[in-house]
Structure 1
Amino acid sequence: MWESASESVGGRDYGNGIISSTNQGLKTDGFELRGQSWYVASDIPSDLSVQIGDVNFHLHKKRKFLNYTDLPLFTISVLAKYPLLSRSGKMNRLIYESRDPGLNKMVLDDLPGGPEAFVVAAKFCYGIAVDLTAGNISGLRCAAEYLEMTEDLEEGNLIFKTEAFLSYVVLSSWRDSILVLKSCGKLTPWAENLQIVRRCSESIAWKACANPKGIRWAYTGKPPKVSSPKWNDMKDSSPSSNQTVPPDWWFEDVSILRIDHFVRVITAIKVKG
């Protein structure tokens, strides 16, 4: 796909990369970072601490829902109303299976993406708008899978929204595909199992095989930290119609990748001829 401007999936706009959960069960003004701890700005005291590495998140669960032991897990999550448990199947299950009404702490050191991904996922659960970018999408997609944030729990949950952003925005951009593939180095094996590495490699290879005469996007060798122009954006930094594009224009950009990812891209280019 060559275009990626303002793609819409199921009536949801992903053009600006800002998403939020529409169903809020707890009023909050946002998150506050104090030292190594995140707190929800709410008039309801926190009753659940989630530790990831050396970072603590002070969040909410509803103690009463643990009394509904005769109800199915999904029904319990709906009754809970508190957003974190109703949107994360894993956290709901961990609390439910503990059978401990007093459980107030979890340790999730194996969460892919670490604290950086979890804080974005938590904000999404609380209905706070979050910005999806090439820099955070791979970690957030893996974290959403780990947390089991599926459509079974809520329509438009985080797995759906991150997957749509990857498919309709990232893979249509030259720079973003490279940036996302570069970020996958710390997400093994999640990024492999979710086919993020394969899809980005093939997307890059497909674009690298394009006819140089038709290239209208910038290639710099040093992808910026911000999301790139879309394929149909005609920026001043892009090669002009009178500028000769060398046949190996793509090589410097691809060379910033980790060696195993670089080999994946080169192999994909060979397959495409």
Structure 2
Amino acid sequence: MNASGSTSLSASILSSPLSSPNVTALLKIKIISWSQETGLPASVCVHVANRIFNLHKYPLFSKSGYFNRKLTESNEIKLPDNFPGGPEAFEMISLFIYGSSTLVDPFNVAALRCASEYLEMTEEYTSGNLCERFDIYLNQVVLQSWEDTLIVLQQCQNLVPWAEELLIVSRCIESLAFMACMEILDPERRRDQPVVTLEALSFQKWSDEMVQEVLSQDVWIKDLIALPFGYFKRVIASLRRQGMKEKYVTPIVLFYANSILSDENGRKEDIAMLLKGILDLLNMGEKGSKVIPVGFYFILLSKSLKLDLDKEYTLKLQNQISGVLHMAQVEDFVETESGTGGIEMEIIENIFSTYALFNMCGNNSPSPYNFVVAELWDSYLTRVASDMKMELKRFMELIEIVPVSCRQNHDHLYRALDIFLQMHPELSQDEKSTVCKYINCQKLSQEVCVEAVQNELMPLRLIVQALFIQQLNTHKALKECSDSFRYTHNGDFSGSLTSSRYAHSKSQNLVESPCDLQDTRNKPLSFLIQKDLSSQKPELHKTEYESTSFRIQSLEQQLMTLKRTLQLQNTSKKGGQVSTKGELEGRTMNKRRTPIGQMTNCIGTVNFASQRKYASRLLKVFRRFSLFGRTKPKRKQSVTSIRPKSV
């Protein structure tokens, strides 16, 4: 068997008739010939279902233990209605009794073997009897072929219990499991693509398209999932018993379950029974739950709710989902069809409550998974927040399912609250403040924080908090940009920014600064500066080093002048007297030796109203800085010969 060359038998296995008009005509010829040779009439009448066979006593007596006993009592025998194979099988066995060759193929061998066993056609009565012949055919022909074994196993459905007692079913199942293991090992390396594993499935969204793509590559899986559930369950057990790894076994079970869920014509009771069996087949322990795609669990859960399965099974699914909740997506969740008061939402709430109870409560060092689950829950809240029937108290209860401490980012929570407030314009300011108390503005992204400041639906308390956080972010951005200049000038950097990249660098590209290495998500000003420089940053040549050093010192003087101007403006606004020119120069001389990094003290005191003007001026300075080294100086000067002018 090979997946690349095998033909799927899963669609339908055609049943060839056990007998045909040619067989019936040949049997009549044999009976007439026997009468002519022996001069004895056909004195035995055998009833099989709705047919009557007139046969001779001696051939039946000599080759069948069953007829050997019955013919001592009467010459008229009636076989039971459930005789294996029916009149067709008996007709072919009768042909063999009269010495003719029996036509055997995978479609009729199981019925013939069961019928010959019922008639006791064993070696005890004649050598080379039918039971032995059919066993040889099964072992040496059928069980060596994937397709023939599947055909025989399908035919055994109508041969219960004889096929089970004769171990035909067991032998076929063991043979299929063995060949499936060989297919995965693929010793001849004929496979174009590896067999699908649970690890591969866990990173894909579960869908019918994905399933069909896999089945088109691994046709042997498609054949297995076409088996009746009773046989399929035994094949899975045999695969595990023969050593197939669980990462290969479980996908087969998942695909089988998917075929059940996709069957729209099946009876509800049958599907419910099959789903229960599937849940028993899955490795539902801790190890299995970590690799089975969580999207598949939600599909099973959704189908279970529609079929109204026992609460025992739905609860089992909920517990399994809560163990892999960090791998889920909002799109996987059960669709809420009956509103926020429906069973679907209650199920989702129970799943998250179970996860929070065992993973979030009383945990001093929360797992990174907790942050993922908290964000997932807030994303789900954005769905249910649009329900106009959702009450304030109920919505607050939903928010509190996940502890606030496990929310690393509050963007989705803000979105959910924003939608809820839009759906409930009648809420008072006090009610808005109550429901928005869960938002921590420090955990909002820069974009959402700006949006919150401008959102008229938000309570005043939240807007003020967001405004304050925005101001702190701006101050922090200014300080970091100041530190980056100090680093560029001195080659020495002390503070919150560190970088081994620049510590021993010999590059003369002085435009690049540690500010580029920082996360700019919450630093609007530094992000604008960085974006501006990224499009203008020149490539400094080694010959332009001296000119660049001179311009850096000039830039230092400009920044110092800007610092003094800002200090002077702040002093004037406080009602103090403006310092005289002499006093100003005196202060300048006293601070002349102060490292440039101490400008942070001034920058940190810039009030919120003057930040926009200050940022504009600072951008102009940065643009001048980005042009360093683009043009060569008119005359080459030594770096050591240049000194900054006294201010």
TM, length-normalised to structure 1: 0.65
Q: CA deviation at 1:194?
A: 0.6
Report the counterpart of residue 62 of structure 2 in structure 1: 86
Q: Give, as a single letter, the amino acid of the residue that structure 2 aligns with 1:260.
A: G
Report the counterpart of residue 257 of structure 1 in structure 2: 227
- Asked whether 1:126 is paired with 2:126, we answer no
Change beyond 3 A, Cα 1:246–1:52: same
Q: Secondary structure at 1:41's aligned position in 2?
A: helix
- Asked whether 1:58 is paired with 2:47, we answer no
Q: CA deviation at 1:211?
A: 3.9
Q: If each structure's helix is expressed as a fraction of its own residues, which one has the higher value?
A: 2
Report the counterpart of residue 105 of structure 1 in structure 2: 76
1:218-229 equivalences in 2 (<5 Å): none
Structure-1 separation of matches of 2:28 and 2:130: 22
253-262 vs 241-250, which moves further: 241-250
Report the counterpart of residue 268 of structure 1 in structure 2: 238
- Deviations, residues 165-184 of structure 1 (Å, cap 9, x unaligned): 11111111111111111111
Structure-1 separation of matches of 2:125 and 2:108: 23
Change beyond 3 A, Cα 1:267–1:242: closer
2:122 to 150, 164, 186: 150
Q: Is the 8 A contact 1:113 1:139 kept in 2?
A: yes
Structure-1 separation of matches of 2:187 and 2:158: 31
Structure-2 separation of matches of 1:207 and 1:242: 15
Gaps of 5+ in 2: 1-24, 36-40, 197-217, 245-647
- Deviations, residues 117-136 of structure 1 (Å, cap 9, x unaligned): 11111111111111111001
Q: Is the 8 A contact 2:173 2:238 kept in 1?
A: yes
1:192 to 152, 164, 176: 164
- Deviations, residues 193-221 of structure 1 (Å, cap 9, x unaligned): 111111100000110111447388xxxxx
Q: Give, as a single letter, the amino acid of the residue that structure 1 aligns with 2:226.
A: I
Structure-1 separation of matches of 2:161 and 2:191: 44
Q: Is the 8 A contact 1:213 1:244 kept in 2?
A: no
Q: Give, as a single letter, the amino acid of the residue that structure 2 aligns with 1:201.
A: I
Structure-2 separation of matches of 1:117 and 1:215: 40
Q: CA deviation at 1:243?
A: 4.3
Q: CA deviation at 1:157?
A: 0.3
Change beyond 3 A, Cα 1:157–1:57: same
Q: CA deviation at 1:187?
A: 0.8
Q: Is the 8 A contact 2:42 2:56 kept in 1?
A: yes
Q: Secondary structure at 2:111's aligned position in 1?
A: helix
Change beyond 3 A, Cα 1:43–1:85: closer
Q: Secondary structure at 2:46's aligned position in 1?
A: strand
Q: Give, as a single letter, the amino acid of the residue that structure 2 aligns with 1:40.
A: I
Question: Which entry has the higher C-alpha Rg, 1 or 2?
Answer: 2
Q: Give, as a single letter, the amino acid of the residue that structure 1 aligns with 2:66.
A: K
Q: Is the 8 A contact 2:85 2:115 kept in 1?
A: yes
The alignment covers a number of residue pairs equal to: 192
Q: CA deviation at 1:261?
A: 1.0
Structure-1 separation of matches of 2:150 and 2:47: 31
Q: CA deviation at 1:246?
A: 4.4
- Asked whether 1:40 is paired with 2:31, we answer yes
Q: Secondary structure at 1:56's aligned position in 2?
A: strand
Q: Is the 8 A contact 2:27 2:94 kept in 1?
A: no
Structure-2 separation of matches of 1:269 and 1:40: 49
- Asked whether 1:159 is paired with 2:131, we answer yes
Structure-1 separation of matches of 2:187 and 2:53: 46
1:136 to 100, 105, 108: 108
Q: Is the 8 A contact 2:31 2:98 kept in 1?
A: no
Report the counterpart of residue 176 of structure 2 in structure 1: 204
Structure-2 separation of matches of 1:264 and 1:212: 19
Change beyond 3 A, Cα 1:245–1:129: farther
Q: Is the 8 A contact 1:30 1:41 kept in 2?
A: no
Q: Give, as a single letter, the amino acid of the residue that structure 2 aligns with 1:59.
A: L
Change beyond 3 A, Cα 1:213–1:50: same
Change beyond 3 A, Cα 1:43–1:155: closer
- Deviations, residues 91-135 of structure 1 (Å, cap 9, x unaligned): 111112x1xxxx331100242121121111111111111111100
1:1-20 equivalences in 2 (<5 Å): none
Structure-2 separation of matches of 1:41 and 1:169: 34
TM, length-normalised to structure 2: 0.28
Structure-2 separation of matches of 1:54 and 1:187: 19
- Asked whether 1:95 is paired with 2:71, we answer yes
Gaps of 5+ in 1: 1-28, 34-38, 62-81, 217-239
Q: Is the 8 A contact 1:139 1:187 kept in 2?
A: yes
Using CA pairs under 8 Å that are at least 6 residues apart, name the structure with larger relative contact order, 1 or 2: 1
Change beyond 3 A, Cα 1:242–1:160: closer
Q: Give, as a single letter, the amino acid of the residue that structure 2 aligns with 1:170.
A: V
Structure-1 separation of matches of 2:179 and 2:151: 15
Structure-1 separation of matches of 2:76 and 2:92: 19
Identity %: 39
Q: If each structure's strand is expressed as a fraction of its own residues, which one has the higher value?
A: 1
Runs of 4+ in 1 over 6 A off after TM superposition: none
